[in-house]
Amino acid sequence: MAHTCIHWFRKGLRLHDNPALMAALRDCKELYPVFILDPHLYNTQVGLNRWRFLIGALKDLDCSLRKLNSRLFVLRGKPEDVFPKLFNKWKVTRLTYEYDTEPYSLSRDKTVTTLAKEQGISVIYKISHTLYDIDRLIEENDGKPPLTYNRLRELAKKLGPPKKPIPAPTFEDMKDIKTPCPEKHEKKYRIPTLEELDLDTTSLGEELFPGGEQEALRRLDEHMKRAGWVCSFEKPQTSPNSLSPSTTVLSPYVTFGCLSARTFWWRLAEVYQGKKHSDPPVSLHGQLLWREFFYTASVGIPNFNKMEGNSACTQVDWDTNPEYLAAWREARTGYPFIDAIMTQLRQEGWMHHLARHAVACFLTRGDLWISWEEGQKVFEELLLDGDWALNAGNWQWLSASTFFHQFFRVYSPVAFGKKTDKYGDYIKKYLPCLKKFPAEYIYEPWKAPRSVQQAAGCIVGKDYPHPIVKHEQVHKKNIQRMKEAYARRSPAQSPVKKQGVKRSAPSIIDMFQKKMKKE
């Protein structure tokens, strides 16, 4: 039987390594590639940079499909409302999609699958957003999510290397398949502009990271040519405040699925072949395994993106302080390193992983004592690579709520940045009001004599805020509060100490600590 197929793009905005798309092409006479702007996922809570990245990725995907005599059909609405109409209109007999592990996605997909099956439509999904089948990793661990990175590595090793990626469909694969598209459909199903989505684009800056599969593969090729850099890459040794990124910035492309994680993995394996190279957790393979670790935790731990009802998470009596939260979000804390990072986030939609460490620690256990859930919301809105599982997992880690338990180690909002940018060039780039401050005061402008502030054309308290808290005092008080929260934990939540395991190499924590100042 020749099928009329819808391939439903959600994440996985690519043609390469897309097994669900290839499944749609088997015994297919008509193909409708569909993307739905679901109001649950794409709404006013989504930042402008993220919207721009998505629209760029959709345009790129449409362009690639048109080269195969197909196109992308973009619709707006709830999938459960949109699909029944399409099923009838196009006389669909098969629906394919890439498996997604997020709670909302699982419930959405269950609803749509039920609607499809009620109409006699066969449904096929394939796993390609992660390196492994996440449920299988949990199964291998006696039905429980691994709560340490090393345990995840052991499980991955047991399963063997990730599956090899499959090639993109070719003209040959598509030669007998039609995508009916009358002239009237051209406008009805086209990709909307940001303006048509009622988004105010006046504040948008330069697009440093354009969305799309072609850009993702170009950037991957560019980085893979730097074999020496790839082989020696150690995440904790990269700089959080370099003027141009010190890492690959491939994360947004992996998040939206413009780049397959498996393609990234195997391209790295080719570069590593026969050469001495860094290892997980700090290597580039290690970064992909961190992603897998948080995905596995997010599937295995109910209420993963919340403190309450999350069995792995320490219950902390965080403060509710809208003024502090707004100052942090809007880069008005009075600590230039923190404010520069938050400015970069708002302007560009990205900042270095260790910069994320600094601002997350500052908001939560370090200085402001505000819940990690509030920080999670801000990152979800503004980050190009805002990923449900990774965002929730990293916020729990950095607030020392889950996974990481050395709450007495606090990032200094002054000393940490100085280690890699003594003269404050990063601060001057993102906070131009401070650019004339001499290096000795750039991280602590409030300490500058009035005459220095006047000469710099920036008076603290008028042109730039005073620090909203005194780090030297509050972080000590917060360590005490964290100690009390830990004392209230149930024995089941206490960090597990492995007996008799000799560590021959420094752990990820040890490496991060090289970059931290113990106050």
Together in a domain, 250 and 144: yes
Identify the sign of the CA torsion 28, 31, 35, 38: negative
Together in a domain, 152 and 276: yes
Q: What is the DSSP letter of 250?
A: -
Q: Count how many domains the chain has.
A: 3
Q: What per-residue confidence (pLDDT) applies to 271? A: 98
Residue 387 assigned to a binding site = yes
Instruction: Give the H/E segment covering residue 477.
Output: helix 471-487
pTM score = 0.94
Together in a domain, 100 and 233: no
8: domain CATH number is 3.40.50.620
Structure-token match 């302080």, residue found:
321
Q: What per-residue confidence (pLDDT) applies to 184? A: 76
Q: What per-residue confidence (pLDDT) applies to 148? A: 97
Q: What per-residue confidence (pLDDT) applies to 84? A: 98
103 inside domain = yes
Residue 291 assigned to a binding site = yes
Together in a domain, 236 and 104: no
Strands (E), 229-361: none
Which residues contact residue 161 at a Cβ distance below 8 angstroms, ignoring those fewer than 6 apart? Answer: 265, 269
Tens digit of pLDDT per residue, the chain (519 long)? 899 999 999 999 999 999 999 999 999 999 999 999 999 999 888 999 999 999 999 999 999 999 999 999 999 999 999 999 999 999 999 999 999 999 999 999 999 999 999 999 999 999 999 999 999 999 999 999 999 999 999 999 999 999 999 999 999 999 999 999 888 778 899 999 999 999 999 999 999 999 999 999 999 999 999 999 999 999 999 999 999 999 999 999 999 999 999 999 999 999 999 999 999 999 999 999 999 999 999 999 999 999 999 999 999 999 999 999 999 999 999 999 999 999 999 999 999 999 999 999 999 999 999 999 999 999 999 999 999 999 999 999 999 999 999 999 999 999 999 999 999 999 999 999 999 999 999 999 999 999 999 999 999 999 999 999 999 999 999 999 999 999 999 776 655 443 333 333 344 444 444 444 333
Instruction: Give the H/E segment covering residue 73.
Output: strand 73-76
Residue 289 assigned to a binding site = yes
Distance CA 23, CA 76 (A): 25
Residue 34 assigned to a binding site = no
Q: What per-residue confidence (pLDDT) applies to 490? A: 77
172 inside domain = no
Q: What per-residue confidence (pLDDT) applies to 1? A: 81
Q: What per-residue confidence (pLDDT) applies to 492? A: 66
Residue 292 assigned to a binding site = yes
283 inside domain = yes
Record the tokens describing residue 479, joined without a space.
């360590």
What are the phi and psi torsion angles at 33 (to 5°)?
-75, 120
Residue 109 assigned to a binding site = no
Residue 248 assigned to a binding site = yes
374: domain CATH number is 1.10.579.10
3-state secondary structure (DSSP) of residue 35: strand
Which residues contact residue 424 at a Cβ distance below 8 angstroms, ignoring those fewer than 6 apart? Answer: 336, 417, 434, 437, 439, 442, 443
Cβ neighbours around 70 below 10 Å, total: 20
Per-residue exposure over 459-488, b if at least 16 CB sit within 10 Å of its own CB, e if not: ebeeebbebbbebeebbeebbebbeebbee
Nearest of 427, 461, 431, 433 to residue 447 by alpha carbon: 461
Which residues contact residue 32 at a Cβ distance below 8 angstroms, ignoring those fewer than 6 apart? Answer: 4, 5, 6, 7, 73, 86, 90, 92, 179
Together in a domain, 326 and 451: yes
Cβ 464 vs Cβ 433: under 8 Å: yes
183 inside domain = no
3-state secondary structure (DSSP) of residue 452: helix
Record the tokens describing residue 280, joined without a space.
């997980």
Residue 293 assigned to a binding site = yes
Q: Give the residue from 79, 98, 128 where a domain finishes.
A: 128
Distance CA 351, CA 136 (A): 33
* Peptide bond just before 281 cis, omega within 30 deg: yes
Nearest of 309, 311, 318, 296 to residue 373 by alpha carbon: 318
Nearest of 235, 146, 293 to residue 508 by alpha carbon: 235
146 inside domain = yes
407 inside domain = yes
Residue 461 assigned to a binding site = no
123 inside domain = yes
Residue 247 assigned to a binding site = yes
DSSP 169-190: P-HHHHTT-B----HHHHHHTS
Together in a domain, 122 and 147: no
Together in a domain, 28 and 140: no
Together in a domain, 446 and 341: yes
Together in a domain, 64 and 162: no
Residue 364 assigned to a binding site = no
Distance CA 305, CA 309 (A): 10
Residue 408 assigned to a binding site = no
259: domain CATH number is 1.25.40.80
Q: What per-residue confidence (pLDDT) applies to 187? A: 86
Together in a domain, 135 and 269: yes
Together in a domain, 111 and 123: yes
Together in a domain, 41 and 57: yes
Domain holding 386, by residue range, is 322-471
